[in-house]
Amino acid sequence: MSTAQSVAPKRRRQDSFIESLKIQGRVIGALFLREIITRYGRHGLGFLWFFLEPMMFSVGVTALWTVAGMAHGQGNTMPIAGFALTGYSAIVLWRNMVNRLTNTTSANKGLLYHPNVRVVDLIYARALLEFAACTMSLVFLTFVFWGLGLMALPVDPLKAFFAWLLFAWFVIGAGMLAAFMGESSEIFDRIVHIILYLALPLTGAFTMVSWMPPAIQNVLLYSPLVHGVEMLREGYFGAGIDARYSVAYLFQVNLVLTLLGLILIRNIRRKLIDD
């Protein structure tokens, strides 16, 4: 076989892969827009609820903490508004993502009859919606609180950005597992809310690891959520807050969780269509 003949199949495979990515991108984009219209509608506040919904929760908690005058941290190195914003934005993303992805497949079963729509596309589209809404809320409130003099802008925006991405990556992986469990067990859909509330102490939203006794620190650091929130707060407030986290640990857990999630949801489509 000549060199030209051996290169041609490789080029065709590469072109086919790129074309498949383009098709998947268009499918996810269409599902994303469909999800917005289905959930928020075309009238009234409509699209504004896209980021108003997660924003209201964070604002409410921040206002309560500020009025109560609760002081956090050693030497009050973090403003109350900033502490609440970073913590509760993470909680909102964690709670909304897992809740929304739990019933993704069953709620959109009819779409799976389209040849280009796969279960993973449904999950990615809904995950992208939740991530975009919570991210817009976090960014918008950061500037609002800064403008009101309640907190400063992030000391290291790049670190805060990557921390938020790593945190969201873990939450999406957990959401993929929830989607599989929700499709495999009717009981899971009823207890997922309880599980999320019980997991709140392991999110790192209410305290810094360094503020806790050593025994509790060791327990908290097993939670990937804690690593993400600690890194996010260091990006916002600097190294003076004594954040405890490991990027390598969070990255490795995310890889394993994503691989496991993709394996588990691989056969959901066939099960849904057969049912």
Report residue 50's pLDDT band, with 50, 70 and 90 as the boundaries: low
Q: What is the mean pLDDT of residues 170-192?
A: 88
Please name which of 93, 98, 273 lies closest in space to residue 180, comparing C-alpha atoms.
Answer: 98
Confidence (pTM) = 0.84
101: helix, strand or coil:
helix
Query: In this structure, how many other beta carbons lie within 10 angstroms of the beta carbon of residue 74?
Result: 12
Residue 6: inside a domain, yes or no? no
Residue 7 lies in a domain: no
- pLDDT band for position 47 (cuts 50, 70, 90): low
- Give the model confidence (pLDDT) of 194-213 as tens digits: 888 888 889 988 889 999 99
Residue 255, in any domain of the structure: yes
- Give the length of the chain: 275
81 lies in some domain: yes
What share of residues in the chain are helix, strand, coil (percent, to 5)? 80, 0, 20
Q: Among 68-82, 84-98, 128-142, 223-237, which is the least confidently predicted range?
A: 68-82
Task: Give a yes or no: residue 14 inside a domain.
Answer: no
Rounded CA separation 153/145 (Å): 9
CB 171 within 8 A of CB 177: no
Res 149 pLDDT > 50: yes
3 within a domain of the structure (yes/no): no
Q: In the prediction, which pLDDT does 40 show?
A: 67
Residue 75: pLDDT over 90: no
Q: Return d(Cα 193, Cα 184) in angstroms, integer.
A: 17
Q: What is the mean pLDDT of residues 154-180?
A: 95
The boundaries of the domain holding residue 65 are 19-274
Average pLDDT (45-55) is: 64
Looking at residue 275, what is its pLDDT? 57
pLDDT-derived band at 163 (thresholds 50, 70, 90) equals: very high
12 in a structural domain: no
* pLDDT bucket at 102, cuts 50 / 70 / 90: confident
Number of domains observed in the structure of the chain: 1
Residue 168 has pLDDT above 50, yes or no: yes
pLDDT for the residue numbered 131 = 93
The CA radius of gyration of the chain, in Å to the nearest whole number, is 21
Q: Is residue 232 part of a domain?
A: yes
Q: What is the pLDDT of residue 113?
A: 74
pLDDT digits (tens, 9 = 90+) for 238-255: 988 889 999 999 999 999
